[in-house]
Amino acid sequence: MSVANDAGGTRRVLVKGADGQRRTIRLGRGSLEVARQIDERVQALSVAVLTGTPTPHRVTEWLAALSDEYHGRVARTGLVAPRVKRETRTMAGLLEAFTEHLEANNGGRTYTHHARVKRTMLAMFGADTDPDTITPLDAERWRASLVASKYATPTVSKDVKTARQVFKYALKMDYTTNPRNPFADVTAGTMSNPDRAHFVKRETIAKAIEAAPNTHWRLLVSLARYGGLRIPSEIAAMEWGDIDFEGARLWIRSPKNKNHGDGGRWVPMFPELRTPLLDAFELAEDGEVLVFGGQRWSDSSNLRTQFKRILKWAGVTPWPRLFHNLRASRQTELAAEYPLATACAWIGNSRAVASGHYLQVTDADWMKATGQGVTECGARVSQNAAHRTATHDNAEQRKGAQPTRTPCLTVPGGAGRSCAEGAEVTPRGFEPRFPG
């Protein structure tokens, strides 16, 4: 046994170091039994190092479990390499590094909702907190705080997914030693919010275009509503070389999707876009590359503020999600006229995203479904509500009434009326009439 006792009750272990010289590992005060266990492992480590044989598994496990202080005492014998002191990691540092990573990989594009995620996470966990200490329970508490703060369900969902991305990045970059993402099992919830969906009618957007202060604003509103472009990312990246007037199409660069193998898409030069594009082209200076030059066209907050002013000048009440609903309105129109796959290709999203966040039910859909185009064969049908009420009150008389002619339905796009002039059709609620 190589355990020695010192004055004052402290103990030490004597062992051959990597250079073959006798080394001392001071243990401090402790029981003899513990000192013997340490001695046994240290001697086994020394033999393995000096003879070039594998270190026993029980010894490697023991070394891994040692505190930095005691590991350092063993390392001074030369039998193991010293641990590299881990850089101090904080939540503030992690969130900053994550934001820089996103911007570097997305052409400098900023993500405004990340500022909210950063603020709420730092408020809950603290700026100087080590990410290693964040547990799944802490993650659930953070989500609960968002709900308690009355954030909308889609906002909570987006923030939870962002938090997952933050810790996924931390694991990838070895910013945390936790083997598992603490946000992995936190319920995100739906990203859809039907209450904020709004179909922007053509007559409404015509007023906004007319009230726009200059050519570029008229073009921007037209591209958003009739081209379905993302504002501001896709107009900020637009170049005159992307506009094919002869082929009547536009190449739309997509900064959002470029890291997913989708650098852009072709969009038809719809009739509503040709005049605004030609007007802007006439004003472009020789050699000008960008359609929308200048930083102001890439600031989403500034563009929303200015667009609200334009709507006010036009006498139009702003709708929720100003630019998103312009894009959604266009995809809704396209999907009604072309196959959904075509509409998605032109808008630049998937069927799932379109169905969950873009496609809307319009007033025209309701009018068509509830009988727009209904006419009586040879006479106009009265829609008087009082008459319907009186008829309902005389239900007993109606039971014995003879069937009368009923309105026929003119289906939009159909062959015409569904009943012949003067034909008798059994009303709904009566047994069919049979001859004889």
Reported as a single tens digit per residue, the pLDDT across 99-124 is 888 877 665 555 667 889 999 999 99
pLDDT of 430 > 60? The answer is: no
Q: Model confidence over 113-154: pLDDT tens digits?
A: 788 999 999 999 999 999 999 999 999 999 999 999 998 888
Give the pLDDT of residue 262.
61
Q: How many CB atoms lie within 10 A of CB 179?
A: 6
Q: Which amino acid is at 80?
A: V
Bond from prior residue into 232 cis (ω within 30 degrees of 0):
yes
Q: 99: which 2 tokens?
A: 């934001």
Whether residue 276 has pLDDT greater than 60: yes
Higher pLDDT, 131 or 436: 131
Quick check: 408 and 375 in contact, CB under 8 A?
yes
Sign of the dihedral through C-alpha 285, 291, 295, 296: positive
Q: Which CATH class is domain 198-363?
A: mainly alpha
- To the nearest whole number, what is the mean pLDDT of the chain? 82
Q: What are phi and psi of 263, to 5 degrees?
A: -85, -15
pLDDT category, 434, cuts 50, 70, 90? Answer: very low
Question: Closest Cα partner for 222 from 151, 140, 291, 172?
Answer: 291
CA atoms of 412 and 410, how far apart (whole Å): 6
* Dist. CA 234–CA 168, nearest whole Å: 28
Q: Backbone phi, then psi, for 365, in 5-degree steps?
A: -60, -45
CB-CB contact of 155 with 83 (8 Å): no
* Region 277-306 average pLDDT: 89
Q: Is the confidence at residue 435, as pLDDT, over 50? A: no
Residue 404 is predicted with a pLDDT of 42
> What does the block give as tokens for 349?
């999203």
**pLDDT, mean of residues 149-167:** 92
Question: Alpha carbon of 83 to those of 70, 87, 170: distances in Å?
Answer: 11, 12, 21
Q: Compute the average pLDDT of residues 406-435.
A: 39
Find, among 248, 245, 240, the residue nearest to 283 by Cα.
240
Residue 27: what pLDDT? 86
* Integer angstrom CA distances of residue 341 from 92, 202, 248, 273: 43, 24, 20, 22
Domain spanning 91-191: which superfamily? Tyrosine recombinase, N-terminal domain (1.10.150.130)
- Higher pLDDT: 124 or 427? It is 124
Reported pTM: 0.55
Two tokens, residue 122: 């730092």
Amino acid of residue 210: E
Lowest average pLDDT, out of 46-50, 92-96, 218-222, 252-256, goes to: 252-256
Under the banding of pLDDT at 50, 70 and 90, the label for residue 195 is: confident
- List, for residues 351-374, the tens digit of each pLDDT value: 988 888 889 988 888 888 888 754
pLDDT band at 392 (very low <50, low <70, confident <90, very high): very low
The values of phi and psi at residue 95, to 5°, are -65, -35
pLDDT band at residue 427 using 50, 70 and 90 as cut-offs: very low
Q: Which residues face 175 on adjacent strands?
A: none
The confidence score (pLDDT) of residue 61 equals: 92
Residue 295 — pLDDT band, cuts 50, 70, 90?
low
Q: Which residues contact 96 (CB under 8 A, 6 or more apart)?
A: none
Three-state DSSP string of the chain: CCEEECCCCEEEEEEECCCCCEEEEEEEECCHHHHHHHHHHHHHHHHHHHHCCCCCHHHHHHHHHCCHHHHHHHHCCCCCCCCCCCCCCCHHHHHHHHHHHHHHCCCCCCCHHHHHHHHHHHHHHCCCCCHHHCCHHHHHHHHHHHHHCCCCHHHHHHHHHHHHHHHHHHHHCCCCCCCCCCCCCCCCCCCCCHHHCCCCCHHHHHHHHHHCCCHHHHHHHHHHHHHCCCCCHHHHCCEHHHEECCCCEEEEECCCCHHHCCCEEEEECCHHHHHHHHHHHHHCCCCCCECCCCHHHHCHHHHHHHHHHHHHHHCCCCCCCHHHHHHHHHHHHHHHHCCHHHHHHHHCCCHHHHHHHCCCCCHHHHHHHCCCCEEECCECCCCCHHHHHHHHHCHHHHHCCCCCCCCEECCCCCCCCCCCCCCCCCCCCCCCCCCC
Predicted local confidence at residue 259, as pLDDT: 55
- Residue 408's pLDDT is 39
Domain boundaries along the sequence of the chain: 3-75, 91-191, 198-363, 371-425
Q: What is the mean pLDDT of residues 278-297?
A: 89
The type of residue at 385 is A
C-alpha to C-alpha distances, 142 to 120, 138, 146, 157, 340, nearest whole angstrom: 8, 6, 7, 12, 39
Share of the chain above pLDDT 70, in %: 80
* Residue 383 confidence (pLDDT) above 80: no
What pLDDT, on the 0 to 100 scale, is given for residue 198? 94
Mean pLDDT of 201-218: 97
pLDDT at 88: 79
Cα 418 to Cα 408: distance, rounded to the nearest angstrom: 6
**Taking a C-beta distance cutoff of 8 angstroms, is the pair 42, 3 a contact?**
no
pLDDT given at position 411: 36
Percent of the chain with pLDDT over 90: 51
Mean pLDDT of 266-291: 95
Asked if 51 and 44 touch (Cβ cutoff 8 Å), the reply is no
The rounded distance, in Å, linking the Cα atoms of 8 and 28 is 9
